[in-house]
Chains A and B, each alone.
Chain A
Amino acid sequence: MPQKVNDFYQPGFQPKSAEMATMQMVLAIIKYQNVTRNSDGSQYYRDIREQSFAHYHYALSHLYSLISSRTLADMQAMTMMCIHLRSFPRPGPAWMLTGWAMWICVEMGIHRSSTLWAGNSKKSEVELEIRRRIFWTLTLIHVSISGKLGRPMMLRREDFDVELPQLLPDKFPSEDKGASPECSVWPCVQVFKLTELFLDMYTALYTIRPSSDYETAVQHLERRADQWREELPPALRFDSPDNKDPKCDANARVFALWLRFWESEYQLLMHHPALCRTASQDLISANLQKCINAAWVIIDMFAQAREARILDTTWHNATTFIAAIFTLLFGYWDRRSQISPSELLDLKNRMSLCLDILGEVGRMLGGQPGSHVLQY
């Protein structure tokens, strides 16, 4: 006889709005991801999709309580909503809700260093860690959306001093020893460090009134990228022996692939011809070459993600993929007098692969059956 969850509902247990919203958002996210990746258009998946939206809208109806109460648990629930909205095909709702959440974080001082609360016995180590995680998760989502929309960032680096997550151990004694990491969220620190780089890059280059010289800014950002790469743990370096070791955390290979993708996206955006405000032909040419190199890596990572069935479903990464394709087309056109016939054939073959991948990306974004994202 199936044990129904409701049968064991603790008598008198009344979940708070934050707890109910968090539970509903986890269900919404998992069901939505399931449908987006696996749907075959059948009624079964359409039903799961409807359920996902029901969970999401029900959680949203608690938003007024979350915003009025403003405890840490409320911020966690709001962050969960932002995580879900990040996966939607259009950026509008995510932009609005993430901004709202970040402003409340500022009101609560979540953007400030935990040393401010040193000696305050009311804030436990776990609470401080959750504050750090909430801030950086929201910042990651916000930077990604704002950067692509060409909008100003809510906070620049000068405006916050909260530390990166400290990775408190959260492994239960009964969990398998050995392969499982001590802290289940260990990759997030590397992602957040990369988010800092993206934030600095967007505020330095993708800005209406740049405050520093273009060439100086790019050199500085390149050094930061090199430093980030050097500090990457071996298990998260794509193609490193540690990453290929079967004993390493199975998810590490997935994380390493996406980190490589996002690092290449950073390189592409940093050196992008559309933002290249310099008269030096050498620099323009060198930048374009770096873009071409980064674009090939982006396409390669996306192709490997598709093979491993771990394609990301978001418009953020889809636009990066298309930007890589367009950059290659532009780059080869710009150097058409220097390209050999075999290189051109190679480009054509790889473009066919890209179109094939785009078909799948389009389906995941909720495109109509039979629509083509690019028609040649």
Chain B
Amino acid sequence: MFAQLTVGFHNCDGDRYGGVLSANSYLSHIKGTSLSVFGMEVDLADYISDEEDAPMSYAAMMTAITNACPSMTPPAKAKLPETLAECQNIAKTYLLVMNPWLPALHKPDFLRLVSLYCQYFPIFL
């Protein structure tokens, strides 16, 4: 049941103990990506194709971090936006939609950083 939850190291039992026990055999609480009712179990992870998931997998993350496997293809060259308008649009969208919930970025500092890439067209000034 928990095989798909976290595909980490081989022989790692750390993700198979199933957390807290349920007091109700008909209705389980949420266990990661799986739940059950009346003995019927659903695991969201079963419906995600491995192929689609590969770049987002744990293994892909560790490879990118450690560059541990020289025989693997290095990550594709990631390009910055090609036009000023696209760059500004992406920055504004992020600050409007994502940052209010998860405010890792300080708006003036981030816009200043973006401006550094667009030296003669600072945003909002």
Could you tell me which A residues sit within 8 Å of B by CB distance? 2-6, 8-10, 13, 15, 19, 22-24, 26-27, 29-30, 33, 50-51, 53-61, 63-64, 76, 79-80, 83, 85, 88-93, 95-97, 126, 129-130, 133-134, 137, 140-141, 148-151, 165, 170, 172, 174-175, 184-188, 191, 206-208, 251, 255, 269, 272-277, 315, 318-320, 322-323, 326-327, 329-330, 333, 362, 365-368, 371, 373-374
Q: Which residues of A contact B65 (CB under 8 A)?
A: 60-61, 63-64
A371 touches B58 (CB 8 A): no
Instruction: Give residues of chain B (26-71) contacting chain A, Cβ–Cβ below 8 Å.
Output: 26-33, 35-38, 42, 44-45, 47-49, 52-53, 55-58, 60-61, 64-67
The 9 closest A-B CB pairs, nearest first, are A150-B19, A92-B6, A57-B75, A326-B37, A58-B78, A60-B64, A79-B104, A185-B103, A274-B29
Q: A15 vs B6: C-alpha distance in the bound complex, in angstroms?
A: 34
Q: A58 vs B78: C-alpha distance in the bound complex, in angstroms?
A: 7
Among the listed A33, A55, A318, A366, which residue makes an inter-chain contact with B52, where contact means beta carbons less than 8 Å apart?
A366
B116 to chain A, nearest CB (A): 6
Q: Which residues of B contact A63 (CB under 8 A)?
A: 65
Among the listed A148, A188, A255, A367, which residue makes an inter-chain contact with B32, where contact means beta carbons less than 8 Å apart?
A148
Q: Which residues of B contact A315 (CB under 8 A)?
A: 33, 44
A61 touches B64 (CB 8 A): yes
Q: Which residues of A contact B114 (CB under 8 A)?
A: 23
B104 touches A80 (CB 8 A): yes
Supply 9 A–B pairs (Cβ within 8 Å), ascending by A: A8-B118, A8-B121, A15-B116, A76-B104, A141-B102, A151-B19, A186-B100, A251-B96, A373-B47
Known contacts A53-B56, A322-B35, A326-B37, A5 near B87 by CB under 8 Å: yes
Instruction: Give residues of chain B (12-35) contacting chain A, Cβ–Cβ below 8 Å.
Output: 15, 18-20, 22-24, 26-33, 35
Specify the chain B residue showing the minimal Cβ separation from A366: B52
Size class of B's contact patch? 35 or more
Instruction: Give residues of chain B (104-125) contacting chain A, Cβ–Cβ below 8 Å.
Output: 104-110, 113-114, 116-121, 124-125
B103 touches A188 (CB 8 A): yes
B7 interface contact, C-beta 8 A: yes
Known contacts A89-B44, A207-B20, A367-B48, A319 near B100 by CB under 8 Å: no
Specify the chain B residue showing the minimal Cβ separation from A367: B47
Q: Report which residue of A5, A97, A362 has the largest number of chain B beta carbons within 10 angstroms of its beta carbon.
A: A5
A170 touches B5 (CB 8 A): no
B10 interface contact, C-beta 8 A: no
A175 touches B124 (CB 8 A): yes
Among the listed A30, A90, A273, which residue makes an inter-chain contact with B94, where contact means beta carbons less than 8 Å apart?
A30
Specify the chain B residue showing the minimal Cβ separation from A141: B102
Q: A148 vs B47: C-alpha distance in the bound complex, in angstroms?
A: 18
Known contacts A188-B100, A365-B48, A367-B47, A330 near B107 by CB under 8 Å: no
B20 touches A6 (CB 8 A): no
Known contacts A30-B90, A367-B48, A5 near B118 by CB under 8 Å: yes
Q: Which residues of A contact B11 (CB under 8 A)?
A: none
Known contacts A5-B117, A60-B65, A319-B35, A208 near B20 by CB under 8 Å: yes
Q: Which residues of B contact A97 (CB under 8 A)?
A: 61
Specify the chain B residue showing the minimal Cβ separation from A86: B102
Q: Which residues of A contact B30 (CB under 8 A)?
A: 148, 269, 319-320, 323
B58 touches A92 (CB 8 A): yes
B5 touches A273 (CB 8 A): no
B7 touches A92 (CB 8 A): yes
Among the listed B76, B81, B113, which residue makes an inter-chain contact with A50, where contact means beta carbons less than 8 Å apart?
B76
